[in-house]
Chain A
Amino acid sequence: MKKNVLAVLMLFVSPLAAHAGTIEMKVFGMVCGFCAQGIEKSLRKLSATADVTVSLENQLVAVSTRDGVDIPDAELRKVIEEAGYDLKDIARTNRPMQEIREQVAQKQ
């Protein structure tokens, strides 16, 4: 019985557990503010996107998502490639966007 309850709970919890709130992507080819602007605009059009920040120095595109919603890797790859850039890596982290922005600002 306990195992069944646990399994049912996991069904509800697992989609949330899979989403860590922030998606950090390694993107190649970004060399100017226009590159960043194009990617940012495209990502902000996704309904799941809450916030976006880009660092040219770190080749980083970070997206925070709305509560309980994730963006599939395939959709992220499509957005980045349609913007004209190469997506090299995707990581889901718990880092708040403010922390990422502060880290980027320190390197400027």
Chain B
Amino acid sequence: MKPLTPGLICMLAVLAPGGSALARPILYSHSTTVMAEYAEDVMRDVQVSYAPGHYLAFGVGHLELDGGGPGVEHEINFGRLNLLVKRWNLEKAQSNIFIWGGVGRSSIRISADVLGSTGHNHGGTVNTGEAVTFNETAGNVGGQIDYETRRVYTSFATDSQFAASFTHRMDTLQFGIAPYEHEANGLATFFIVSATKYSGNLQKEETQVAVLLRMFRKSFWVEAGATTDGKPQARLMLTF
């Protein structure tokens, strides 16, 4: 593994953040969940998890981060544990506190073209004109608090990816309203406003606001929309 030099860290500072901000990390006991997320110019993410109980789920995932521009690829393969710390069951509402954490392998590949165009010396570890890949162990921690009824959804989630050479964090606040109250076997529809603040040394600090349509029925959950600057986002979840 080649160490990241300050020059490369500066160059990677335009990388966009990633991480899953799906609605709920654990669904129900003895369920297997497949989740996928797409956010243009930000990330792609696929996760598979199994919940042996309603308070615990473990799984694996693959995360791809964009934003480094052409020639820069950042991938993280990880294992993750999700815990339901506390649930409040009210007559017509539910509130939860989740935490999660995991470890994985981060891989950043920078093409020869990108390295050549930067003109950095890279501390003598990289020869200009050669593509390089940096592999290192990465960690992930996060948490979520939510409150929901059949009419209202609110949540706050924080998610951090980190390694020796990088950190990035996403803080997401969501608020949603349903035009009607769905029944157990019916289609649920929510209009969601989502605000995400990105920070860390891999990207410039910024806040993106997205408007999303969320629909779910039985074992299928989908959410799609766009940020206020027109970048599409989509998430889907299948449980069985």
Binding site for B on A (CB under 8 A): 28-39, 41-42, 53-57, 59, 82-86, 104, 107-108
Contacts and interface: CB of A to CB of B under 8 A. Distances in A.
B30 A54 contact: no
A36 B31 CA distance: 13
Nearest to B53: A82
Interface in B68-95: 84, 87-94
A52 to B, nearest CB: 10
Contact of A54 (B29, B55, B150, B184): B184
Contact of B29 (A30, A32, A38, A56): A38
B27 interface: yes
A32 B239 contact: no
Contacts, number: 90
Which interface residue of A30, A34, A41, A53 has the most chain B CB atoms within 10 A? A34
Given A55-B184, A84-B55, A85-B89, A31 B29 contact: no
Contact of B188 (A33, A39, A54, A108): A33
B133 interface: no
Given A57-B181, A83-B54, A33 B84 contact: no
Contact of B186 (A30, A33, A35, A83): A33
Interface in B162-202: 181-186, 188
B218 interface: yes
B38 interface: no
Interface of B: 24, 27-31, 53-55, 84, 87-94, 148-150, 181-186, 188, 216-219, 221, 239
Closest 7 CB pairs of A and B: A38-B28, A29-B89, A84-B54, A36-B184, A86-B89, A54-B184, A28-B89
A104 B181 CA distance: 13
A34 B150 CA distance: 12
Contacts of A57: 181, 183
B216 A29 contact: no
Given A84-B84, A108-B183, A34 B27 contact: yes
A59 B53 CA distance: 22
Nearest to B217: A33
B26 to A, nearest CB: 9
Contacts of A38: 27-29, 31, 54
Contact of A32 (B31, B91, B188): B188
B184 A56 contact: yes
A83 B54 CA distance: 6
A42 B29 contact: yes
Contact of B148 (A31, A33, A55, A86): A31
B185 to A, nearest CB: 7
A81 to B, nearest CB: 9
A59 B184 contact: no
Contacts of A28: 89-91
Contacts of A54: 184
17 contacts: A28-B90, A29-B90, A31-B149, A34-B216, A36-B185, A37-B184, A38-B28, A41-B30, A42-B30, A53-B184, A55-B184, A56-B182, A82-B54, A83-B28, A84-B55, A84-B84, A107-B183
Given A29-B90, A85-B89, A35 B181 contact: no
